[in-house]
A and B are shown apart, each in its own frame.
Chain A
Amino acid sequence: MSEERETRLLMISPDSKLTPDQLVRNVHTMGPDVAVKETCYGCLVEGSAAEMKKLIALVRARYKNEVFTKRRGFPLGDPRRCRAQHGTRPGFAQLEAEWAELPLIQSALDSIDRGDVDTRPPVERKPLPVKGMKEICEAFR
């Protein structure tokens, strides 16, 4: 894998009071050799792989479970993806769907940090049997 460039996407959980502006200002102070671009959901950061590893550790130490991150294939401001240059955003639908789920993940990570771990196997959801459906219909007739 390429070690020269690493572009990261930092996304703020909707439950956080942190704003993209605050995040960008703090990320600027954390890594001197990274480029940062503010976005509607957080920011994009670009730098060397080693620099990015240090930066992500600092971001996680400071914001714990409020900021989530993943890699991004395209560089910052790439005309094929950048909104300012009318680039397409084929991954945005999924990003938006995951953004909506972040409060659940954030609260789960907070619970685990408090020592509240729950590894029960999930309850399998079964369709309502006809008899049960009949009983409900009879009750509300």
Chain B
Amino acid sequence: MKVFIDPPNSMILFDLVERFGHEPLSAMAVIQEKVDNIEVDMPPMNITLEDVIKGLKYAGVEVPSGIRGRLSVWGPMIESADAAVVIDNAPFAFGCVGCDRSNEMVKYLIKRRGIPSLTVGYPTTADEAKVMVSRIKEFLGGLKQ
């Protein structure tokens, strides 16, 4: 099954989803499409008119362009996903490399689609990591049935 991961470029989630037998939907694959097929200088920083139109489907024109730009990449992935795994409060998802409003929108879009989803906390200790990985394994194992 296709599993959307949030943060969409997370190596930990990509690896775990693939390790437990599913296909992770990541931002890297979408960016590869742009790198290979579209002549823009620095994807995903530079975008085309098509991306702007895609972004407007998920966020209004008054929403900051960074959110629309992110959603133009992540929105179609959520639409094609069969399930989702979300890491909550990952420090790198907020700040100069992340966007908290986009994260909120992603959670809303997942909820609106009604696909099975799992939200896990960002681990800071070995015990928390064990709970996180165990829950992801259990969730992904249940998807096969």
The residues of A with any CB-CB pair to B shorter than 8 Å are 1-2, 4-5, 7, 9, 11, 56, 60, 68-75, 78, 80, 88, 90-91, 93-95, 97-98, 101-102, 104-105, 107-109, 111-112, 116-120, 122
Interface: B29 (CB within 8 A): yes
In terms of DSSP, what is the predominant structure of the interface of chain A? Answer: mixed
Q: Which stretch of B9-17, B52-60, B64-72, B109-117 is in the interface?
A: B9-17
A-B CB contacts (within 8 Å), total count: 120
Q: A94-B92, A95-B11 are in contact. List 19 more A-B contacts (CB 8 A).
A: A5-B32, A9-B11, A69-B14, A71-B14, A73-B31, A73-B34, A90-B97, A93-B97, A94-B7, A101-B123, A104-B125, A104-B126, A104-B128, A105-B133, A107-B126, A112-B130, A117-B134, A118-B130, A118-B131
From A11, A56, A120, contact of B11 by CB (8 A): A11
Specify which chain A residues have a CB less than 8 angstroms from the CB of B11 in the assembled complex: 9, 11, 68-70, 95, 98
Taken together as a complex, chains A and B put the C-alpha atoms of A51 and B70 apart, in Å, by: 31
Specify which chain A residues have a CB less than 8 angstroms from the CB of B121 in the assembled complex: 122
Specify which chain B residues have a CB less than 8 angstroms from the CB of A97 in the assembled complex: 91-92
Encode contact with A along B1-34: 1 for CB under 8 Å, 0 otherwise.
Answer: 0000001011110111011000000111111111
Contact B31 A111 (CB under 8 A): no
The residues of B with any CB-CB pair to A shorter than 8 Å are 7, 9-12, 14-16, 18-19, 26-37, 41-43, 45, 91-92, 96-97, 120-121, 123, 125-135, 137-138
* Centre residue among B19, B29, B35, B130 by max chain A CB count within 10 A: B130
From A71, A80, A107, contact of B28 by CB (8 A): A71
Contact B15 A70 (CB under 8 A): yes
Specify which chain A residues have a CB less than 8 angstroms from the CB of B36 in the assembled complex: 2, 4-5
What are 15 of the A-B contact pairs (CB < 8 Å)? A60-B19, A71-B28, A74-B32, A80-B42, A88-B42, A91-B97, A94-B7, A95-B11, A98-B12, A98-B92, A101-B12, A101-B129, A105-B12, A111-B130, A112-B134
Contact B12 A118 (CB under 8 A): no
Taken together as a complex, chains A and B put the C-alpha atoms of A94 and B27 apart, in Å, by: 14
Contact B26 A94 (CB under 8 A): no
Taken together as a complex, chains A and B put the C-alpha atoms of A11 and B27 apart, in Å, by: 18
Contact B137 A117 (CB under 8 A): yes
Contact B29 A73 (CB under 8 A): yes
Taken together as a complex, chains A and B put the C-alpha atoms of A11 and B97 apart, in Å, by: 20
Residue of chain B at shortest CB distance from A56 = B18
Contact B19 A93 (CB under 8 A): no
Contact A108 B32 (CB under 8 A): no
